Amino acid sequence: MAERTRGITARDEGTEVPDRATAGEAAAGDAGARGPGARGPGGRGSGAREFGGRESGRRGATLDAYRQVLAVTGAALPVVSFLGRLPVAVIQFGSVLLVSRTSGSIATGGAVACALALGQVTAGPFVGRLADRRGQRPVVLAFAALNALCVAAYTLGAHLGLPTPALLLLGVLAGASVPGIGPLARARVVRLIRKEGGDARLVGTALSLESTMDELSFVLGPALVGLAALAGHPAYAFGVAAVLVAVCGTGFALHPTARAVPPGATSARSAPGGRPPLPREVYVVRVGLVFLGVLLGACGAGITALTEELGASGQAGLVYAAMGVMSAVTGLATAALPDRFGLHARWRVATAAAALLSLPLVWTHSMAALYAVVTVFGAVYAPNLITGFALTERSVPQGRLAEGMTFAASAFVGGQAVTLAVAGRVAETHGAGAAFALGSAAAAVAFVVALLARPLRPGAAAPPGSGRPA
């Protein structure tokens, strides 16, 4: 890994400084390209060749970065972590459809889904903190088994038509027992790359891959729920989710990379007198992620309401999947962004795009238009999430990395949770357009938060115990 990253000797806020040997090699190669018979800067066609060469080189560098990440993690870890986080997407999105179908009320479905998400938000940071202290293996093993049982009980309760208070309680338990495989996978991969001497660009590539897997899970999760609804009942998808979290959660816990960092070792070195503090930037990013979650929750409620209005409720999951496909594609492409396009600039552009591209949803009144608008709009999600997690990784001490990642995920899910309950009632009372308008307003607030955020000064000290150079 050190050999792979030898060309980078300093980096701050996405800026890289090549060492002298690398600069010399680049100069020599450039001089060779302008040997006898080569056209100079003013020669015809030189600009096109240089541009094509740069683009080809950038694509090659991006693919090489993904290969380096997979060389560190192995091929099995991304697969098992992807399948292990898929149940979260199923129960988060499917709860609205499942309870709406069994109770006959979108508002009740939104309220129960809200309870489920609030359970996850409340317990998620605790799971991350426990994993930092005790290690990921025992924590994920216990929570994966518990979550499988809770999801099964929740599904059975909804199918039997239990009263709303009972469903709310079962939803809270199903959410609180989520093992948090997505945030823990991010923390594990980042630690592996840092241990191997990987630089900030490689960490960013790993986070792009992780966010892309999140998006793919939110493609397949709603699609699985939609297919189950068309086949007979959304509860079928919940049965698959319970099996997946039990089997793949166990596989993720037992994977050899779970021992990337000994339990509590980093925290002990970095903060003998207690946990290292978090910088202000971490909390600002969490606020932005809350409003991004509000946007997603409002869009989910709006999509559910609009498909029902149009008599195509079974297609809600497929519409959501179309949005996720585009998000996954842009997520993978994010790793190719130039380093001079820093994290805070990316955050501002991504939130501005979310605010603008969500507006057409307010005036969408047909299934064809919904598919088209949602597909374009999906391009903004992964860049927002990737940037939020990258800013979190850069800021938190490594001894609190799992906790920091789960807190960031909980901020996003928390915004989504509150909105599911509110937007469900708004959609029932005022129509799908009102729910979409709520989401657009949240995206505008997220843009204001990103605009007001202040980047860390060049050369500012890294957080204590971060393991990154000051």
C-alpha count within 13 angstroms, C-beta hemisphere, residue 104: 2
Strand, helix or coil at 8? Answer: strand
Identify the H or E element spanning 9: strand 8-12
pLDDT for 201 equals 77
In the numeric block, which tokens belong to residue 407? 């807190």
Whether residue 32 is contained in a domain is answered as no
Is it the case that residue 231 has pLDDT exceeding 50? Answer: yes
| 55, part of any domain | no
Distance CA 100, CA 457 (A): 49
pLDDT above 70: percentage of residues in the chain:
79
Q: 437 lies in a domain?
A: yes
| Residue 464 counted as domain residue | no
Question: How sure is the predictor about 15, in pLDDT bands with cuts at 50, 70 and 90?
Answer: very low
Residues 6+ apart with CB under 8 A from 463: 276, 277, 278, 279, 395, 396, 397
Identify whether the C-beta of residue 140 lies closer than 8 Å to the C-beta of residue 249. yes
- CA 295 – CA 352 distance, rounded (Å): 13
Domains in the chain: how many in total? 1
Q: pLDDT tens for residues 407-442?
A: 888 888 888 777 866 887 888 888 889 999 999 999
Q: CB of 383 within 8 A of CB of 328? A: no
pLDDT of residue 7: 37
* pLDDT of the residue at 428: 80
Q: Is the pLDDT of residue 232 over 70?
A: yes
Task: Residue 424: give the domain boundaries.
Answer: 76-264+278-452
Q: Is residue 378 over pLDDT 80?
A: yes
Is this prediction's pTM over 0.75?
no
What band does 18 get if pLDDT is binned at 50, 70 and 90? very low
Beta bridge mates, 163: none
The answer to the question of residue 38 being in a domain is: no
Most confident of 17-31, 112-126, 146-160, 372-386: 146-160
pLDDT of residue 176: 93
Predicted pLDDT of residue 261? 59
- pLDDT single digits (tens) 246-299: 999 999 999 988 876 566 544 444 444 456 677 788 888 999 999 998 998 898
- Residue 382 sits in a domain of what CATH number? 1.20.1250.20
What does the alpha-carbon distance between residue 305 and residue 123 come to, in Å, rounded to a whole number?
30
Mean pLDDT score, 159-186: 91
The share of the chain scoring above pLDDT 90, in percent, equals 26
Average pLDDT score over residue span 62-67: 81
Residue written as tokens 């609804």? 229
Distance CA 383, CA 385 (A): 6
pLDDT of 249 reads 94
Task: Return the pLDDT at 154.
Answer: 95
Check residue 5 and give its pLDDT.
41
Task: Decide if 16 contacts 339 (C-beta within 8 A).
Answer: yes
248 belongs to a structural domain:
yes
Q: Where does the pLDDT of residue 403 fall: very low under 50, low under 70, confident under 90, or very high at 90 and above?
A: confident
Does residue 200 belong to any structural domain of this protein? Answer: yes
User: Residues 237-254: pLDDT tens digits?
Assistant: 899 999 999 999 999 999
State the average pLDDT over residues 90-117.
83
Cα 123 from Cα 120, distance rounded (Å): 5
Q: What is the pLDDT of residue 173?
A: 95
Closest CA to 15 of 199, 283, 246: 199
Tens of pLDDT, residues 312-348: 877 877 887 788 788 888 887 887 787 788 888 999 9
Confidence of residue 456 (pLDDT cuts 50, 70, 90): low
Average pLDDT rounded to a whole number, residues 46-62:
55
Taking only the tens place, the pLDDT of each residue in 210-222 is 877 877 787 677 7
Q: Does the pLDDT at position 35 exceed 50?
A: no
* pLDDT of 149: 96
- pLDDT score of 455: 65
More confident residue, 89 or 278: 89
Query: pLDDT higher for 136 or 7?
Result: 136
Q: Is the pLDDT of residue 150 over 90?
A: yes
Q: What is the model's pLDDT at position 138?
A: 92
The answer on pLDDT for 14 being more than 50 is no
Residue 270 forms part of a structural domain: no
Mean pLDDT for the chain?
Answer: 78
Confidence of residue 79 (pLDDT cuts 50, 70, 90): very high
Q: For every residue of 417-447, which 3-state class applies, written as one string?
A: HHHHHHHHHHHHHHCHHHHHHHHHHHHHHHH
What pLDDT is stored for residue 186 in this prediction? 85
